[in-house]
Structure 1
Amino acid sequence: MRESTAAYGLTFPDLVGGREFLRPARGDETPWRITREVTGPAALPTAGEPGDELTDRHAVHPLGDGGVARIDRATRTTRLTTPHPVADREVVHPHLASTAVVTALWRGLPALHAGAVALGENVFALLGDRGAGKSTAVWSLLQQGFSHVSDDVVVVAGDEVLPGPRCVDLRAPAARRLGVGEDLGVVGRRERWRAAVPGELPATLRLAGFVHLDWTGAQRSTIGNLPFPQRLQGVAAALAARVPQHDPAGLLRLAAVPAVRWARPRDLDRVHESAAELASALRG
């Protein structure tokens, strides 16, 4: 029997072609099916139509490539409707992200738009706006001996982190400068260069801290602790779904987790130097 593979606390028996980017299931995940339909652009929502739709039974989420993900709670199914065929590896990342976020909300779990790495069982989530360099930061920390946890969405269950797909999708300038990644072309909302990440993770992953990403015009990076109000603001801004929180106290618990602000130069020649400085601070 083929071993079950998982991400975000879900197993995906349909994604055989993306198994290399999924993780071995622990056995307590929820089975989830992915179906696909290719249709003409005229059958898809237009820019003038409403965007995300979310109820306690189903969700509709527009994909960056002009497609739509329809997520159904009762049948535990996500149906992807796209104007062109979507390969399993493209479903695994980035198109599983919407399913991860919606199912987390249904389970009462916070889902953050973030990357994450681990040092042993301790997970550090990297927060930042689009273009903040989260994927590059994740990759650079892997070179410092950290383990990969997620590249796009971080789902937190209590103090535990549910790991995402096992890959990092870099932007073209970073991939070319660092000499890593396979050119996938445009998938979702942007061009992607995919780097697979080897290695296994501990059975339990505990959220140990947040790293709030920023840029600096200086030649060296700076790392400083964040006070609680800024931690709360940063975590709230990172929530992957802009809906009223079922558990406001959960947001406060996340904001209580230690956090630092990491401001580093945009210069890609300094990526490894800056990552080494952050790695040293996190280890300490």
Structure 2
Amino acid sequence: MSSPKEDELAGTEQPFVSHLMELRDRLIRAMLAVGVAFGLLCFWPGPGGLFDLLAVPLVSHLPQGSSMIATNVLSPFLVPLKITLLAAFLLALPVVLYQVWAFVAPGLYSHEKRLVMPLVVSSTLLFFSGVAFCYFFVFGKVFTFIQSFAPKSITAAPDIEAYLGFVMNMFIAFGAAFEVPVVVVVLARMGLVTVTQLKQFRGYFIVLAFVIAAVITPPDIVSQLALAIPMCLLYEVGLWAANAFARYTRSPDAEAQAEAEKRGGTTP
């Protein structure tokens, strides 16, 4: 005769194994998407072409006759390869996020699903927007500002590995900074803070945004303002979105209670 403990554990092994198998399949599909994107980018425009594209903002601001250098023997091979792999991941990011969404969606309530998918899409678009804003606007202003202070007796010849590190830090900083609306919505939707409290925190956030910009950007006023000002504007967008998401993702019980309160009654 089986014990009560064995009866409680009966049937739990198979669902756990099936979840692991599904997780494995999702990871394989995500890695295949990155691999396909990597192969396509290697074919066109190629690792060298991608690095040349990434280097345009700096090279266009170097003195005539100057160019970038490689101080490591393997740098001309490894740096373009790293950039290609990064670009492949970004290109396949929608597929990767969809696999994550497909794995967790069955365990969510319907009102929670209405919250997750818009957040996944909006966070992806906001991150890409931050990277694009950094590449097309900030880099040009920063390199112009830096070159204006360079002595004429110095010939600028940046190292490609150092440039890759600088670009990665800036891309991550601006991509993460543009996620401010998502963070505000999640904090409000989880009930950690109310929208009213977030509005009262507005003044402190402005100071915090400038402190963050001063820490993670180069020591020039251009890049600091270019990061701090969008963060403040996106905070306001997050406040508006938090109100919208609170109504859109309300649970059925909360909707019934809100409807009852409007009628002046109470839920049974």
Normalised by the length of structure 2, the TM-score is: 0.27
Normalised by the length of structure 1, the TM-score is: 0.26
Question: Whose Rg is larger?
Answer: 2
Higher helix share: 2
Higher strand share: 1
**Greater relative contact order structure (CA < 8 Å, 6+ sep):** 2
